[in-house]
Every structure is written in structure tokens, then in C-alpha cells.
Structure 1
């Protein structure tokens, strides 16, 4: 099982989308579906996902255009393109647009699942250090290495909170989402505010920004 990896599926064919939703859910992914490029763009910019599957021939915003827009906005989530267009030139176009992988239709479900697992492993290996205001968060040691020198140790929850924000620097996370993603079964959303305070006390008030009425996001560099 993959746990609760959040996956965005952008596919306009309802039959294929339904099939993939069932298969991926059975594999342990938390699947969110979008039926067109505009909806996919909105979801990808406002929610956090570990991986995305994007069809190329989408209504509203074409798949490669969607990927380029996401990359331009700093969304680094690994993306696998599904497309009936499978020539070498088509694959090159997909990779040049910012996708990490490209799978032509028709495809075997076992291969799709294997490619998703490979994307997640590769992304996890590459993302051991994340930029934060004033330095870099080392995900292995749970410490911030300051650009001017020095290291600040964080607790497990402080590091998890900061890693979630740093992984999607342009996204505002609600307290409810942070509570669910970082603190699990904590009783109150006030625990989020408490750990934001702890991070600011150690790293400076600018490290996490409050967005009034919405939640929190990573501070500006």
C-alpha cells in the first residue's frame, strides 16, 4: 500500500477516469479528479499533491499548456502525462513542457502504477533539502542550515510543518489542512498556531506568513 499519497488525476474521459480512480484508490492513493484543464489548474494551485496524472487532450486548457502554467508558478509536483499521441516527438514535447514521465495510450495498469511509484521515489530522493527564508531545510536531519552560517535544530512536528509549506511555497494551507497533514489526530486547530509560533521563534517571524481568513503559507525569501 502507498499510504495516503495525494494524487491529482486530470482526465476528461469519464470511463477511464473512473477506472483509474478505482485502481489508484485500491493501491492506497487519495485521488482527486478534474475533468478539464481549468479545473486541474485550480486544484493544483490551491491544494497539495504528491503526484499528478495529466491527460494531454483536455478541454479548456490543453494538457501540456496546463503543465507549463504549473511550472511557471513554481509547482514542482512530479507529473506523468497520459496521451493517445505516443510518437517520439510527442514524448519530447511532453518532457520539454515540464512533465517527468510520458505514457502513451493504451497502456497496462501495472506499468502505470510502476511509473507512479518510480516518480515518487525519485522525487523523494531529490527533495531532501528545501529552500526556506534564510536558509535550507534538511529533511533528513530536521534542521535548517542558515545561508549566513549556523544550524537550527527543529522538532519532528516543526520540521514536518515547515516541509509541507516549503514543498509548495506558493500555496496557502488552511489550518484544517495543516492539522490533517501534519498533526493527524490532534484535537484542535490551535495546535497549528502553536507550532507556527515555535517555528517563528526559532527561525524568525518571516519564515511563515499568515494569510488572514485563509491560513498559512511559506514566507517570502
Structure 2
């Protein structure tokens, strides 16, 4: 390794399946990562709070602490490492619950190895990207921490998909997007456009009704401050 070489990305795998867990360890090592394996939610919580990781792969059906509960605890503790949830539950409501708990991605079992590795690469690009702040009315939106800071100093934390939606609107403040356009760029794995309305509701609930404007006959755009 040269002095300019980048250190291997560290990946936390929280998976209780005795066959899949070790398989994922071998997979990530073979891809050049440095993975750690936790076999239950409590062990995963300890590792995530005490060590530095660049990405997390979390099974949803974990013993001790269920996967989404684990992710929620980590987010409330300030752990912003991008997370992908693995699960056998593949309904729209299951995916929305996972994403709304703070996950950046959600992959249903059984999955293809190449797809999992591709999604992890996306997580790592998000983690390693430069810091950036966008204006949302009179508030500041931090893309890395996924927080919105108001003029009074109050801080609101967003889930992964809430952040993705706000980023799309905030980077194009003068543009109105149709639901289909938002689906293609933010929710490509969702089953219907109703998920767009759901996340607009979430943003308005957290940031105020004026955060996202409805453009009649078109869709949505960033609200005016």
C-alpha cells in the first residue's frame, strides 16, 4: 500500500442467520472491505456506538433488539453512518417503515450478491461525499448529518428518504416536480406514487406546512421562506 492509498471501508454487518452472516463477512472481505459481524441487535448496538464504520448492513428480524429499533436508537444517539436494511418483509409498508426509521436503503431477501455490493458502494459514496448545506427558506439543510437548523437554532433530524426528497427540491428551488419525476429520483423501488405524498406529509409535519408547496396540476416544489 502506498502512502496515498485509501484505507479500506469498514462495514458493520448485524445478521443473526448462522449461514448468511459468515457469508456476508467473506463477501465484504473479498470486495476489499473490513467487515465486523454482530449476531444480535445488542451486540450491533455496542459495536456501532464504540467503533467507527462507513456503512451498516442490518437484518430486520434480529434477536435482543429488533433491526428497526436498533437503527432508531443509533440515529437518536447521533450515529449517522448510512444503513441498508436486509429483510424478508417486502411489502410497501415494510419498506416505508424501514426507510422512515433512518435507513438509506432497503433490500429484500433473497437478493443477488452483485446488487448488494452495488448498493453498498452507493452508501459509501454518500458517506465520503463533501459536506454541503442548502437553504430551505430561512433554515439551513445539512446533507451529511441530514438535519435542518432553523433561524432560532432548533435542529430537526430527517430520515434517509426525507433527506433525499428535501435535497431534490432544495437543489432545484424554482422547479416543480411531478410525482412521477420524484418517484424516479427518490423512490425508484416504491410501488406507487402515494409514497411521494406520504413523504411530503412527513416533511411538512417536521418542518412546517410551508416547507413544500403544492403546484396545482403539476406536483411539488420547495416552499418559499
Output the TM-score relative to the length of structure 1.
0.56
1:17 corresponds to 2:4: no
Aligned match of 1:83 in 87, 111, 131? Answer: 87
Report deviation, 1:23.
0.9
Structure 1 residues without counterparts, runs of 5 or longer: 130-221
Cross-structure match for 2:60: 56
Shift in CA distance, 55/126, structure 1 to aligned 2, threshold 3 Å: farther
Map 1:1-221 to 2 at 5 A: 3-125=7-129, 127=131
Unaligned stretches of 5+ residues in structure 2? 1-5, 134-225
TM-score by length of 2: 0.55
**Following the alignment from structure 2 to structure 1, what is the Cα–Cα distance between the partners of residues 121 and 130?**
14
Shift of residue 60, structure 1, vs aligned partner? 0.2
- SS where residue 9 of structure 1 aligns? strand
1:165-184: CA deviation from partner (whole Å, max 9, x where unpaired): xxxxxxxxxxxxxxxxxxxx
CA shift for structure 1 position 127: 3.7
The 4+ residue runs of structure 1 with deviation greater than 6 A are none
CA RMSD in angstroms, aligned pairs only: 1.7
Aligned pairs, how many? 129
Is the 8 Å Cα contact of residues 3 and 28 (structure 1) preserved in structure 2? Answer: no
